Structure 1
C-alpha cells in the first residue's frame, strides 16, 4: 500500500475556528505543556557555560580543558541537528503529540547520563543525545504551538515562548551558584546535581504535556477529521462554559485532499522548488543567530575567567544577568512583531545587534572596560539579538505548508545550526584558549557579520506574516491539489493562493498579493484588541492601513475601557473585561490597557479590584 494513500477530499473550518478562539485556559495549558521546552534548552546550554570552569579544574572528575569544553558544546549542537532532522520527519508523519512525548523522554534519559559522566568520551556521548532530544523538541513543539495559537497573537506568543529559554538559563545559572559552592558540595558532585535538575524538570513537564491534544490541523489533513472536529469542539465548549458567551461564527472553510502520509521527496520539493526565497531566508536567519549565540553563550564563563579574572564560582552571577537581559528582549519587543510587522522588526533586531557588537569588540580589544562594563555591553547587544533569534524560529514555522512544518523547522534549524552553531563554539573556544584578546575580537566581528547577513536577507526576502492565518501564509500541499490554478505553485502563489482554496460561506471579497482584503461591505462584528481588531478588519475587507500601529490599537483599547465604565458605572475587573471582550486581546494585554487608562485619567480605582469612570 502506498505511504501516500489518499483518504478523501474534505471541506473544514477547523483553521478558522482555532484562529478566532479567545485566549483561554486551554492556551495557557498549551504554553505550560509545550513552551517549557525552551526552559530545558536554556538550562542545558547555560549549565555548561556555568560549570565549564569547574570542569576544567582538577578534582572535578572530568578535568576538561577550554578546547574540550568547546568540543562538548559543538557535539551537543550536532546532536540537536541530527535529532531535529530525525524526529522532525517523524513528527510530520506520525503526529505532533506522539513525538513531543518521545523527544522529552530522550532528553530526560540523556540528562541523567550526563550527570553520571566519568570520562570525557561519556560526557560527549551524553551531550550528543541530550542535544538530539532538544532538537527533536524544537521540531515537534514549534509546529504544534503555531497550529494551536490564534493567528492574531501568534508572533508575540512565539517570541515569549522562545524567550523563556533565558528563564531556564537564569535558573540554571542560579542553581549553579549553589551547586558549585565547594563549602556545600564536593567539586566532583555539585556539577552532577546541576545537570540532574534538568531531568526532574523534564519529568514534571511530561505530566502536564499528557493533557495537550494532537494538532487538529495535522489530524484533518492526515485523514482523521472526526477527531479534529471533536478536539476543537471540546475547546470551544470549555471556553463557552468559562465565559458564558457564544463564540463568533466562522464564515470560511478550506478544502483539502487528505493523505495518511506525505513523502520526504515532496517535503524537499516544497522547500526548494516552491519556496526557494523562503529557504534562503530561513538559512540566513538561523546561521546568524546560531553562530553568535552558541559561540558566546557556551563560552561566556571561560571568557570571564580568562580575561577578567572572575572566579568560577562567581561566573553564574554574570550569566543570570545576561539571561535576564535576553529574556526581556522578546518580552518587551514581541508585540511589535504583530503590530509593526515581521519584516521591520526582524531586520531591526538583526542589524541592530550586529552594529552593537562592533563597539563591544573594540572595547574588549583595548581592555577599556572591566567585567561589569563588558557585561553591560553584552546585555545591550543581546537584548536585540534574542528577539531576532526567537523570530527565526517563528519565521520558518510560519512560511511553509502545514504538512512540512515540523520538517521545515528541523531542516533550517539543523542547516543553520550546523553552519553557525557548531563553528561558533569551536571558534570562540579555540580563540579564547589562546589567551589573546585580538584573536577573540576576530570572533566577535565574524559574529556581527553573520548577524548582519540575516538582517539583509530579511529586507529582501522577508514575508509579511503578522496576524495572518497559517493557511494564508502558505497553503497546504493537499489544498494545492484540489484546483487547477494551484498547479502552477510558485512562491508568490504560496503567499496569495490560500484564498483561492478557501471558500467563504458569507462575505468574501478579493484579496491582494499578501492575502489582505480589499474594501467591501462589512460582513461581521469587529472586536477590539491587538491583533483581533486588525485581523478581523482584514477578514471583513476593511482598509487597515490606519490600524497597523500598536499605539492606535492601545488607544482603541483605552477608549473601550472608558466607554464601558461610563455606560455601566463602577465594575469589577472581571466584569469590565467581559464587557469589552478583553479575552480576545491576548495574554497580559488587558492589564496593560487598564493601567494606561488610569495613567491617562480615563479610569480610576473605586475599591479593591473595582474601577469607575473619572
Structure 2
C-alpha cells in the first residue's frame, strides 16, 4: 500500500458506516478467519503439557526430560509470546492489520511444523520460542482487527466469545493427546509428532480463509488510504444489503482526522500512560488478576488430582477437558451481557464472582470436604466466570485506547500478564501445589482468588462504559485530536 498514500485533513463517515451494519455473512468471514486462531493456541499449549511425559521416554526419538518440557520449553514459549506480541504489535500499528495477521500465522505454522521434526532438545526449544513468537503476534494483530471490523452493537460479545474459544482448543488438545499417545495406535516416536502436525493442518485451513479477510478501514483512512477504505466499506455494504434484503440506516456521524503514514512510539506511549492513566491501571489489574487465578488452578491441576485424590496420570486429560468446556461456556453464555448489561457490571462481576468462588474452593479443599469430582465441579464454577472476565481483559485494552495505539496496547498488557502468569506464577505455585501439603495448595488458591478479587474492585471503579459505543467515541484517534487542536500534543 505504498502507492496512493494521501496526507492532509479529511472528514470521513467510515467508522459510523461500519458500526451501523447489521450482522451478515461478511462478519462471519471475519470471525472464522481471525477468531479461530485462539483454538490453535489452546491446542498448542495443552498438547505440550500432555505430551511432556511421552517426550521424556527413551523411545520418543528426542533426548529431553519432562521437566525440560514443562520448564524450559514452557518458559521459552512464554518469552516468545511476550516478545512476539510487542514486536508484531508495534508493526501492526505501523504497517496494518492484514499484513501482520498473515505474517504471524505463517510464523506459527512454520515453527510448529519444525517442532514436529525435532531431533535434539535445542531444536525443540528454539521452535517452541518461535511458535510463541507467532502466537503472541496473533493476539495483537487479531484483536485490533476484530474490534475495528465488528459493529459496536456486537463488539463485546464477539470479542469475549472469540477470546474464550482458546478453551475449545484446550479441550480438543486434551482429548487428542489421549488418542495420539496411545501406543496401540501410533508408535511412541510418531504420535507426539503427529499431534503437532495436526496444528499445522488446522493453521493452513485458517490461512486459506484469512486471505479473504479485509484490512481494517479504520487503519486505512488514518494512514492515508482513504479511497481504499471507502471502497472496502462500500463493498461490505453492498454484500450486507444483498444478504439481508434491506436498506441500511444512514450513518450516525463523521469525524475529521489528519492522515499520516505513521505515528511515533513516543506519542503512543504518551496516549496510553499520560492521557489515559486510569485506563492503563485498569488494563494492568485485569491482566494480572486473571493470570494469577489461572495459574493457581491450571498450573498444578494434574499434580493436585494425582497427589491428593490418587487419580491416574492417564485420566487427568479427561478432567482437563471438563474444565476447558466450562471455560468456553462462560464467554459463550455471558458474552451478550457485556453489550446489554454493560462493561462495568459484567467485568467487575465476573472477576469478583470467580475470586469469591475460588476463596470458597480453597476453604472446602483445606477442610477436606472435596473429592476429585467435586473439586473439578468447583473449578468449573470458578472458571465459568473467570474465563468471561479474562476474555473481557483483552476486549478492554483493545477498545479504551486511541486507534493508533490499539495493537501495541494489546501487546503491552498481554505481555505483562503473560510474563507474570508464565514466569512468576509457576515459580510461586509449583512449590505450593507440589509440596503435598493441603494448606500449601489452599494458599495457592487464595493468592489467585485475592488478586482476581482486587482486579474486580479496580474494574468496579475504573471500567469504561464502552458498550454499544463507537471506538472513536470511547477514545478519539490521536490524529483527530491533532486535527482539532493543531498545537496540542
State the Cα distance separating 1:382 from its structure 2 match: 0.4
CA distance 1:251–1:362, change in 2 (3 Å) = closer
Q: 1:121 to 1:451 in 2, by over 3 A?
A: farther
Describe the SS at the equivalent of 2:254: strand
1:368 Cα offset (Å) = 3.2
Write out per-residue CA displacement over residues 160-196 of structure 1, whole angstroms, 9 at most, x where no aligned residue: 1111111111111121121122222233332222222
Q: Distance in 2 between matches of 1:363 and 1:59?
A: 42
Q: Secondary structure at the match of 2:483?
A: coil
1:376 corresponds to 2:395: no
Which sits farther off after the overlay, 373-382 or 96-105?
Answer: 373-382
Give how far 1:295 is off: 5.1
State how 1:520-599 maps to structure 2 within 5 Å: none
- Answering whether residue 309 of structure 2 is matched by residue 297 of structure 1, we say no
1:305-351 per-residue CA deviation (whole Å, 9 max, x = no partner) reads 34333333322211111111000001111111111111111111111
Deviations 1:384-405 (A, max 9, x none): 1000000000000000000110
Residue 21 (str. 1) matches residue 21 (str. 2): yes
Q: Provide the aligned C-alpha RMSD in A.
A: 2.0
**Aligned counterpart, 2:38:** 38
Unmatched runs of 5 consecutive residues or more in structure 1 = 490-614
Higher helix share: 2
State the 1:468 CA deviation.
0.4
1:460 is displaced (CA, Å) by 1.6
| Farther off after superposition, 247-256 or 27-36 | 247-256
In 1, the alpha carbon distance for the partners of 2:114 and 2:311 equals 30
Report deviation, 1:6. 8.0
Q: How does 1:187-336 map to 2 (within 5 A)?
A: 187-294=188-295, 296-336=297-337
CA distance in 1, matches of 2:272, 2:176: 42
CA distance in 2 between partners of 1:77 and 1:128 (Å): 8
With normalisation by structure 2, the TM-score equals: 0.94
**CA deviation vs aligned residue, 1:535-581 (integer Å, no higher than 9, x gap):** xxxxxxxxxxxxxxxxxxxxxxxxxxxxxxxxxxxxxxxxxxxxxxx
**In 2, Cα distance between the equivalents of 1:279 and 1:126?**
33
- Work out the CA distance in 2 between the residues paired with 1:279 and 1:195: 37
CA distance in 2, matches of 1:274, 1:298: 37
CA-to-aligned-CA distance 1:478-513 (integer Å, 9 cap, x gap): 0001223994x8xxxxxxxxxxxxxxxxxxxxxxxx
Structure 2: distance between partners of 1:151 and 1:439: 45
Please tell me whether the aligned partners of residues 74 and 426 of structure 1 are also in contact (alpha carbons under 8 angstroms): no
Counterparts of 1:331 and 1:240, CA distance in 2:
28
2 CA distance for matches of 1:87 and 1:251? 33
Higher RCO (Cα < 8 Å, 6 or more apart): 2
CA distance in 2, matches of 1:285, 1:330: 16
CA distance in 2, matches of 1:8, 1:283: 35
State the Cα distance separating 1:66 from its structure 2 match.
4.6
Gap change, CA 1:293 and 1:124, over 3 Å in 2? farther
Q: Is the 8 A contact 2:433 2:444 kept in 1?
A: no
- 1:370-393: per-residue Cα shift (whole Å, max 9, x none)? 221221111111001000000000
Q: Deviations over 1:523-543 (max 9, x none)?
A: xxxxxxxxxxxxxxxxxxxxx
Q: Give the equivalent residue in structure 1 for 2:399.
A: 398
Q: Give secondary structure in 2 for the equivalent of 1:69.
A: helix
CA distance in 1, matches of 2:123, 2:98: 31
Q: Quick one: distance in 2 between partners of 1:294 and 1:234?
A: 45
- Aligned counterpart, 1:92: 93
Instruction: Verify the 8 A CA contact 2:35 2:142 in the aligned structure 1.
Output: yes
Q: Which moved more, 1:68-77 or 1:199-208?
A: 68-77
In 1, Cα distance between equivalents of 2:21 and 2:463: 28
